[in-house]
Structure 1
Amino acid sequence: MGVGLSSGTGRPGRHLPRRDDPIGSLTGGLCERLRLRSSRPGTLRTAGHRVDALTFAATVEQAAAGLSRRGMCFGDVVGVLAPVSPDRFLATYTVMAVGGRALPLSTASDLDTQCAVLTETDARLLLVSPELAQTALELAERSRVRQIISFGPSLGATPFEDLLQPSPDGNGYSPARGLFDNGILGYEQTSGGLLTTLYPHNDLMARFSELRNLLHLTADDVVAVDERGDEATRVALVALALWTGACVVTGADCPPPEGRQVTVLCAPEPARVAFPYPDSAD
């Protein structure tokens, strides 16, 4: 049975107040905030593709409702197999928006390690980018994963777009209102074996606040994230950029928008490396 929260068209609490901070998850309330903003929203980019922040935030809420209808519950672990890209962040935030625990797999990890961490955390669902769908099928054969959801056409996988379909019974589930015990699971190989670490929502929110005080992001900033660095910090920084209206470029080969430059780097540690031009535009 899915998560039983209610809100939405025709229900109390639909018109939410404007928020400056996430509630429940790192994107909780973001969609409503962006709709109310008079200034332009930010964007997320990868080589050859861009998505505006409002569309991204709305998709997170739609997909979270879709996962709820499919039976995902609070505390469920969901694997994410995708390079650092808008798809990886979309999957991670969607899982957390349902109260789940996202397990972003490093694309540099070998198949045995990926399989071991999926099994150790009892993950039954895997969100995957299409170019890694074959790897996902192999992981499903060797772990407890029973369903694969792909961001593109992939044989043997459910299309991500299926999560975005309207509820047949009019369920108005809204991730924007929940207070969830969610988070991100990290993992590493140690001399004692595989070690998994949960970064709960309060840890992610603490990182969000620290980065806001450290970087003083504005809507004119361009934030660059790639495979380097700490996953929890990367996810908190991208969320901060979305709330601020900044542009996020993902991956090692994604250029900044024309006429702009990268002003904030995520790795090796989050740092401001330049200041945006006053007349920069996305």
Structure 2
Amino acid sequence: MATWTDVVLGDAGRRGGRPAVTDVRTGEVLAYDMLMKKLGRAAAGLRDRGLTPGDPVLVHLPPGQHYPLAVHAAAAAGGLVVPIEADMDLELFYERLSHSRARMLITNDDLARWSTSAVGDSRIRQIFTFGEVPGATPFADLDGPPRETPGGPAVTFDGFNVLDHDEVVRELRRMAAEIRVRERDIVLVAATEAREQAGMFDLALMAGAHVIAAPGATLGECRELIREHRVTIVAAPTRLAPVLGGEHVRPTMYGRTLDLVLRTGI
């Protein structure tokens, strides 16, 4: 059966330079072809640095152009992806860090200065960052020839319940049939809860849609982004979704209720 990354990004190559993710914080845009090129080489780089199938890899990133690259590089390398909310409080972060028994952490320069203070007596031995951070390895330095993705465990969102690739693929296909994201859709992701963030990125990228990443966007910012980018689907925090207009739906994914706004009227 196809792996998680195969299903999400298997058609990315034919999409060429079309935008996959726009990060509203930085204005940077990641195209589908560059996502695939960077992902394969980063996955090989992780293996070269000691990642073996089933090893947990913490991914501590907000929604943005780096998020799918980190998640799927770790998955394609055979790692067990452990997504951590960017705004998780320090005590809970340390608890998740300790329980995961991870030796690798992928984060960015903003969060690294905060998250590295929680590493303490954990098993983390290698930190990879988007951006320059003293004592950490730039994610861009991960490089190697792409290799076949091993199967096995894929992701855990709570540190306890582990999903393998087959289970993730089944859940994604179930949700794809329910939500029906289209290639022409523009998907605003303002939600930062781990399952919501992972699920919406994957569903959008599976369809070839364009993700607008806006972590923590306010109601006014969401409305402005909807107008500016002609957004058709919004994944927003519970407090915002009902007042954004359009059709408010609450499907369940990975056991978590998502707040989505479909057909925003643009």
Common fold by TM > 0.5: yes
| Structure with larger RCO (C-alpha < 8 A, sep 6+) | 1
Aligned residues: 238
Deviation at 1:276, TM superposition (A): 7.8
Look up the match of 1:214: 178
Look up the match of 1:41: 18
TM-score, structure 1 as length reference: 0.74
Deviation at 1:51, TM superposition (A): 0.9
SS of aligned partner of 1:26: helix
Superposition map of 1:230-269 within 5 A = 231-250=194-213, 251-253=215-217, 255=225, 258=228, 260-265=230-235, 268=238, 269=258
Q: Any unmatched runs of 5+ in structure 2?
A: 239-257
Structure-2 separation of matches of 1:160 and 1:173: 16
Query: By percentage of residues, which structure has more helix?
Result: 2
Look up the match of 1:102: 81
Deviation at 1:81, TM superposition (A): 1.6
Q: Deviations over 1:188-211 (max 9, x none)?
A: xxxxxxx63223322321221122
SS of aligned partner of 2:86: coil
* 1:82 to 2:46 alignment: no
Letter in 2 for 1:178: T
The runs of at least 4 consecutive aligned structure 1 residues that moved more than 4 Å come to 256-259
Q: Which is greater in Rg?
A: 1
Deviation at 1:213, TM superposition (A): 0.8
Structure-2 separation of matches of 1:252 and 1:108: 9
Superposition map of 1:1-282 within 5 A = 23-27=2-6, 30=9, 33-37=11-15, 41-47=18-24, 48-164=27-143, 167=144, 172-174=145-147, 177-187=148-158, 196-229=160-193, 231-250=194-213, 251-253=215-217, 255=225, 258=228, 260-265=230-235, 268=238, 269=258, 271=260, 273-274=262-263
TM-score, structure 2 as length reference: 0.78
Q: Any unmatched runs of 5+ in structure 1?
A: 1-21, 188-194, 278-282
Q: Deviations over 1:133-183 (max 9, x none)?
A: 12232123231111111100111110111103xx4xxxx442xx4351132
Q: Supply the RMSD in Å over aligned alpha carbons.
A: 2.7
Of all paired residues, the percent bearing the same amino acid is 24
SS of aligned partner of 1:143: coil
SS of aligned partner of 2:142: helix
